[in-house]
Chains A and B, each alone.
Chain A
C-alpha cells in the first residue's frame, strides 16, 4: 500500500509564502482529498502485481493565527476551537503542518501528542493523516535562503517520512493528468470556479451526460474502420490476379524464347553429331540426325559450292555462319555443334571472333576430308530451309517486342492495378 502526496505548484507556493510571511512558529491545516486506486503492473512473467495506491491531493491550507490556538500544553485538542478554525473544511482535512526554523526536522514531543489527538478527532483519513514540518534557513550573508520541508505519517508506532510530488514542475502530460491531478476539480475549490464550470457545462455535455465532441470522433473512427475493411478485400483480389498474370507472362515469354531459338537452329547447317545439348531446338530428332549425316558427307562440296555461288548478301543473318562453315574443315565434334548452337544467339562481332578462333583451331587440328566434303554438300538444302524458316520467322516477328495474341486489351504488364 503506497501513499502518494500531491500538491499543485500554486498551492505549494502559497503554503510556503504563508509560512515565511510572519516571524515565529506557526501551525496550520492541509485541506484536500484522498483517493484510492488499484494499479496493475503487467510484466513478462505471468504474475501481474496489483498494488493499491492512495493519493492525497492537497488543495488548500489554512494557517492558525497564533500558537496554542486549538491545543493546550498537553497537546490535547479542543474540538470547538478546532471547528471554529476550520469552519467548513472540517471534513476535508488531510493533515496539518508546523513551521519552525532553527530546529531539527523531527516531530517534537508536543507535536506527537497533537498529531494523535487530531487523528482521533478528525478520524476520516486515519491511516494517512499527514504532518508536515517546514522551515527556513539562510546562509551567513542572507544571499541564499532555503525553505525545507518534511512530511510524515504515523504508522506502526513511528513517524515515517513521505515524499511530496509537486505538480506543474515538470512534464505532467504523461502521468499526472492521466491519473487524476491535484488541480482544482469541480467538487472542491473556490465558489467562483465552480459557478463558471456549471454555467458552461451544458455546452460541452449533451443530454445523456456524454461529452459532445466525443460522439463525433467515435463515429468518424468507425467509418474509417469500415472503409478500411472494404479496401482490404479489393486489395487482396487484385494482388491475386496480378500474381497469376505475372506467372503467365513469364511462361509465355519462355516459350517464345525457345521457339525463336529453334527457328534459328533450323536455318543454319548443323555440325555433325549432336548428342546432348541443353538447347536443342524443337525439331524431331530424326531430321536432325539426317541432316548431320548429310553434313558430314558434304562439307567439302559445300565449301566449294558456297564459293561458286553468288556472294552472300550482307543482310543474310546466316552469312557469318556460312563463313564459319567454310572456314572450318574440322571433324564433327560435340564441342563444335554446341558452339554453333550457342553462336546462333550471339551477336555478329562475337561470332566473327569465335570464327577466327575456330580457324586457328582447325588449322592446328587434323583435317578430315570427309568432314569437309560433308560440309559442302549441306548448304544448298540448309540454306533453302533456313531461308524458308527465316521467312517464316520473319513473318512472325516484326518487332522486337513479343506480342502475345491473346493478351487482354488495355492491360499493361505491370504489377500494379489502378483504380
Chain B
C-alpha cells in the first residue's frame, strides 16, 4: 500500500509485507486488505528504529477487522504473533492447527499472506459457530449452505460483549453466482476494479426478527442493468427464509442480465437488417451499443433524413422514427423534424421483417410529412 515506508522495516520483514501488498487477495468479498500503522518494538532514543509491527485491516461482512501482526526485528526468523483486537477477544484459533504458522518458512515471501488467509478461514468458521447458538440463524445458514449454490458466504456476528444484550445485528454477505459474461462488452469497458460481482447483504436484527436485504453490484454491472433506480429487489418476506429468498434475487438478476443481453442481440440484429436493406443510404449508426441509426432517403425526388432511436427495452418497446426535412427549418432555425412512435410494429417480427415494414410505412407516411414540412417550415 502506498504510504508504508518499507525501507524502515527490517529487510526480512519488509519482503513479507511487500509480497502481501502485491498479492492482496485473501478471500474476502469486501475488497483489498489495507496495511497500516507500522510500529517498532525497540525504543531507543538514538539509533535506527526498525519497524516490525503492522496493522492489517480486513473488510469482512461490512466490518473491518483490525489485526496486529507482531514480528521481532531482533529475531526476524521467528514466526509472527497476532493480536486480534478487543473486538475479537474470543477469537482464539488453535495454534497447532494453523499449518502455516507451525511450518513457518522465513524464506518464502508469501508466508505472511498464506497465514492470513488461513486465519480468515478460521475466522469464518468461528463466526459460523457463534451463530449456531441462535436457532433461527443457524437454520438459515445451514439451509442456505444446503442449496450448494452459494459457496462464498461471510457471516459476522458482533462480539458478545460489544453488543447490547437485547440487540443483535448479524450480517450475511453472500456472493451471488451470476454469470456476467453475457453482458455486452461495451458496458464492461468501464473502469471496474476487480471482477464483476453481485453481493447480497442481509442484515438480521434481533428485536423484531427482521431481515433487511441490500444488493451491491460492480459499477459496470450496475450501469448495464440501467442504474441503481432499476435495481429493485423484492422485500424480504416476514416469514421467508434465506434459502428461498436468495435464489429469488439471484434469478431476478439473471433475468435482468438475460434481458440486457438479449436486447443487445436484438438491436444488433435490427441494425444489421436495416443495413443490409438500406446500406447505401446509411449516414451513420452506433456500432457499439446499436442504439441509433440514421439514413438519407429519397422518394420521388424528395429527400429526407430518417433517424431511428432504439430504446433500451427493445424489442418490447418500439423504436422511434424521426423524420427530418432537408429543405425546411422551423422558426427556431433548426431543421424541421417529426417523430413517429406509433407506426405498425410488433415485437415478434424479425429484424428483416421490421426493415421491410418500415419501408412500406415510410412510403405511406412521406406525403404527410411533405405537407407538414412545407406548411410548418419555411423554404430554405
* Contact across chains for A108 and B81 when beta carbons are under 8 A apart: yes
Q: Which of A24, A101, A104, A157 contacts B83 (CB 8 A)?
A: A104
* Contact across chains for A74 and B43 when beta carbons are under 8 A apart: no
* Contact across chains for B43 and A73 when beta carbons are under 8 A apart: no
* Contact across chains for B53 and A74 when beta carbons are under 8 A apart: no
* Contact across chains for A106 and B40 when beta carbons are under 8 A apart: no
Shortest CB-to-CB span from A205 to chain B, Å, is 50
- Say whether A384 faces chain B, with CB atoms less than 8 Å apart: no
* Contact across chains for A101 and B102 when beta carbons are under 8 A apart: no
Known interface pairs A101-B40, A103-B70. Does A74 touch B96 (Cβ–Cβ under 8 Å)?
yes
Q: Which residue of A lies closest to B45 (CB)?
A: A142
Shortest CB-to-CB span from A155 to chain B, Å, is 13
Shortest CB-to-CB span from A192 to chain B, Å, is 35
* Contact across chains for A102 and B90 when beta carbons are under 8 A apart: no
Contacts of B74 in A (CB 8 A): 23-25
* Contact across chains for B95 and A113 when beta carbons are under 8 A apart: yes
Shortest CB-to-CB span from B7 to chain A, Å, is 18
CA A400 to CA B304, docked complex, whole Å: 156
Known interface pairs A67-B75, A109-B95, A111-B81. Does A20 touch B90 (Cβ–Cβ under 8 Å)?
no
Shortest CB-to-CB span from A108 to chain B, Å, is 5
Residues 34-46 of B, flagged 1 when their CB comes within 8 A of A and 0 if not, give 0000011111110
- Say whether B15 faces chain A, with CB atoms less than 8 Å apart: no
- Say whether A409 faces chain B, with CB atoms less than 8 Å apart: no
- State which size class the interface on A falls in: 20 to 34
Q: Which residue of B lies closest to A109 (CB)?
A: B82
Contacts of A73 in B (CB 8 A): 78-79, 95, 101-102, 104
- State which size class the interface on B falls in: 20 to 34
- Say whether B93 faces chain A, with CB atoms less than 8 Å apart: yes
Known interface pairs A108-B81, A157-B90, A158-B90. Does A138 touch B95 (Cβ–Cβ under 8 Å)?
no
Shortest CB-to-CB span from B52 to chain A, Å, is 8
Residues 103-126 of A, flagged 1 when their CB comes within 8 A of B and 0 if not, give 110111111110000000000000
- Say whether A33 faces chain B, with CB atoms less than 8 Å apart: no
Shortest CB-to-CB span from A5 to chain B, Å, is 21
* Contact across chains for B102 and A23 when beta carbons are under 8 A apart: no
Contacts of A136 in B (CB 8 A): 43
* Contact across chains for B43 and A25 when beta carbons are under 8 A apart: no
CA A159 to CA B161, docked complex, whole Å: 12
Shortest CB-to-CB span from A295 to chain B, Å, is 108
Q: Which residue of B lies closest to A102 (CB)?
A: B39
- Say whether B147 faces chain A, with CB atoms less than 8 Å apart: no
* Contact across chains for B95 and A110 when beta carbons are under 8 A apart: yes
* Contact across chains for A100 and B41 when beta carbons are under 8 A apart: yes
Q: Which of B44, B73, B95 contacts A75 (CB 8 A)?
A: B95
Q: Which residue of A lies closest to B160 (CB)?
A: A158
Known interface pairs A23-B74, A109-B84, A113-B95. Does A103 touch B41 (Cβ–Cβ under 8 Å)?
yes
Known interface pairs A74-B102, A102-B39. Does A109 touch B93 (Cβ–Cβ under 8 Å)?
yes
CA A25 to CA B53, docked complex, whole Å: 12
Ranked nearest first, the 3 interchain pairs of A and B with the lowest CB-CB distance are A102-B39, A24-B74, A23-B42
With A103-B39, A103-B41, A159-B89 known, 19 other A-B pairs at CB within 8 A are: A23-B43, A24-B42, A24-B73, A25-B70, A25-B72, A25-B74, A68-B78, A101-B39, A102-B52, A102-B53, A103-B53, A104-B85, A106-B85, A108-B83, A109-B82, A109-B92, A109-B95, A136-B43, A158-B90
